[in-house]
Amino acid sequence: MSPRDKFYEMISSLSNTVINDDLFVVSEPVDIDGIKTAVYLAPRAISNFYGARTIEYTRFNLSDLTPVVLQSRGEEYVHELIARLSRYNIFKYRITDPRQANVTKTRFLTLAERDIQTAVVPKVFSQPVTVVLQAAKNSDFFVGSLTITLTPNI
pTM: 0.85
Question: What is the residue-wise DSSP string for the chain?
Answer: --HHHHHHHHHHHHHTS---TTTEEEPPPEEEETTEEEEEEEE-GGG---S-EEEEEE-EEGGGSPPEEEE-----BHHHHHHHHTTS--EEEEEEETTEEEEEEEEEE---GGGB---BPPP-SSS-EEEEEEBPTT-SSEESEEEEEEEP--
> Which CA distances in Å does 148 have to 46, 105, 118?
46, 30, 15
Q: For 97-149, write each residue's pLDDT tens digit.
A: 767 778 888 889 899 999 999 999 999 999 999 999 999 999 999 999 999 99
Q: Which domain holds residue 89?
A: 3-151
Domain count for the chain, please give it.
Answer: 1
Average pLDDT on 65-91 reads: 91
* Phi, psi of 5, rounded to the nearest 5 degrees: -65, -40
Decide if pLDDT at 95 tops 90.
no
Q: Which residues contact 154 (CB under 8 A, 6 or more apart)?
A: none
Closest CA to 7 of 39, 47, 45, 51: 39
Average pLDDT on 15-42 reads: 91
Percent of the chain clearing pLDDT 70 (strictly above) = 99
Confidence label for 14 from pLDDT (cuts 50, 70 and 90): confident
